[in-house]
Amino acid sequence: MEAARVARVILLLLPLCFLEVADTTGINPCCYFPCQNKGVCVNFGREDYECDCTRTGYYGVNCTLPYFWSRVYTILKPSPSFLHHALTHYKWFWDILSNISFISDTLMRLVLVARSNMIPSPPTYNSDYNYITWEGYANVSYFTRLLPPVPKDCPTPTGTRGYKKPPDAEQLAEEFLLRRKFIPDPQGSNLMFAFFAQHFTHQFFRTDFDRGPEFTKALGHGVDLTHIYGSSLERQHHLRIFKDGKLKYQVVNGEVFPPSVKDAPIKMKYPSTLPEEKRFAIGHDLFGLLPGLMMYATIWLREHNRVCDILKEEHPTWSDEQLFQTTRLILIGETIKIVIEDYVQHLSGYNFKLRFNPELLFKEHFQYRNRIAIEFNHLYHWHPLMPDTFIVKGQEFSYKDFLFNTEVLLDIGVEDLVESFSKQRAGRVSGGKNIHQHVLKVAIGVIEHGRKLRLQPFNEYRKWFGLTPYKSFQELTGETEVAAKLEKLYGHIDAIEFFPALLLEEPQENSIFGESIVEMGAPFSLKGLMGNPICSPEYWKPSTFGGKTGFDIVNTATIQKLVCLNVKKCPYVSFHVPYDIDSDGERERKEPSTEL
């Protein structure tokens, strides 16, 4: 025991050689993050600690010594960079595998299991405790946390590295995140993709700012379509007709749009200067902000009422309530399928075809419950996607003219908005210096919230996800000038914060993201999607969706069908621009078929 104690003290003191704080006496030993490979640090007074290595596959004072099978797994496991390269190249190879069902099913199952198992289930921590509590599990008004907060008694905000005071958040954002010139996404993502990301995620990323950034208003913690139906029963009832399961709507120039707040008296966030008759009533109270969000709200409203008509014809004796509830389940299924097979497929850049098939997990030990983590919320702030101006049918809108402009949707219509957004390129997310001035304040707020929540430093998250921690700012950014400035501000690479590092990380080759957003975001995303109750063996059957017809609607859903079945004339619909833009100009790209 004494030898182990001495070894712990020696290992703990080694980082002092690199420490940038003067007073190192009486420091909580867990501030050094000594436990590796997901070991849990428990401090005993001010001088001793213990790493709990249970089920990590490692042992030793700091959980650094691998058991035999852990060593074998580490040797055989391909690096994330190798996998990314393989999955984004050799299209001919992946096309062959995708057409062999048992191979593609096996690969998809491996992807789902490997990614989902990285997210703790049941949830572990919340922002009030840096140790396991019942509160962390049971209190769903909190975002959960992947890693516990940095202990309050640590000498620096990120543990022991860096300076006692972090860089000014506003200065940091303006120097390293503010756009000088629009940097297009090399993957060809468009505004249809950008607005889908914003519309889809705001059903579960709903920070309760009145209570604090650790709290969420989205108590469902997943895909529940509260952004369509409202987050409370009262709001939902105001949005319903209570006939044939349908939602309220208004008809303008022969087209269906969301109702006005006069017809659906719910609280929405609009400027006082906007006349009441021009204010749409939408499930999410902030979706009147942008025409792109209003466009998706309109599409989903039309889809809900379209599916209600189909179910009503098949089940003429069903009540309004059964039609409504079954339609909601169908739309949840459509959403998950579109997200996996269209949205995630696009953002991954993989040539391997992702498939939504819940049955792949039925023989696995899988928990059908999800909690949204604060780290996932911060990771998903992709404001660099937004352009400098918005171009709709050749007309250019500034942010001032675009925000809360409901007339754009009414006058131009869904078809032309879809086509315009599908053809305008979005910005690159990683790499820095690509957030428009108008939304920079949001990034500043995320940085400040990360500090209030005492998120662990970026490299600790790299290690948790099995990624090699960066050894320098130059390695993080892939260049020298910005790296030198960051080092001056932070003092040490182990002190850089989670959110800024995600946006400053060097993008992968021809990619919208750096390695970390992909490797950290995918597990959260797939666990949340496949952990939905409709994907469980108890729910995933035709009867849940009103029979074969409803089940087929879910299983054949695509972003193209969602749009084209709810407009008069099918426009160009895609998450990818129809032309590749490179340094030599424009090179024609074949547009996808509009056939359904």
Catalytic residue numbers, as ranges: 202, 380
Give the Cβ contact number of residue 344 at 10 Å. Answer: 18
Q: Work out the number of other CB atoms within 10 angstroms of the CB of residue 510.
A: 11
CA–CA separation, 13 and 7 (whole Å): 10
Residue type, 288: G
Q: What is the phi-psi region of residue 478: left when phi exceeds 0, alpha when psi lies from -120 to 50, beta otherwise?
A: left
C-beta atoms surrounding 484 within 10 Å: 13
In Å, what is the CA distance from 484 to each residue of 167, 488, 491?
A: 14, 6, 10
CB atoms within 10 A of CB 202: 18
Q: Which residue has the tokens 């939905």?
A: 532
C-alpha count within 13 angstroms, C-beta hemisphere, residue 90: 12
CA 463 to chain centre: 20
Q: Is residue 352 helix, strand or coil? A: coil
Handedness of CA 537, 540, 543, 548 (dihedral sign): negative
DSSP letter string over 273-320? TS-GGG-B--SSTTTTS-HHHHHHHHHHHHHHHHHHHHHHHH-TT--H
Q: Are 259 and 280 in contact (CB under 8 A)?
A: yes
In angstroms, the CA 300 to CA 517 distance is: 28
Q: What is the DSSP string of 512-542?
A: SSBHHHHHHHHHHHHHHHHTSGGGSTTT-SG
Task: Encode burial over 310-337: b for 16+ CB neighbours within 10 A, e otherwise.
Answer: bbbeebeebebeebbebbbbbbbbbbbb
Encoding tokens for residue 343? 């949205």
* d(C-alpha 507, C-alpha 382), whole Å: 14
Residues sharing a CB contact under 8 Å with residue 233, sequence separation 6 or more, in sequence order? none
Q: What is the distance of C-alpha 156 from the center of its chain? A: 29
Contact 408, 173 (CB under 8 A): no
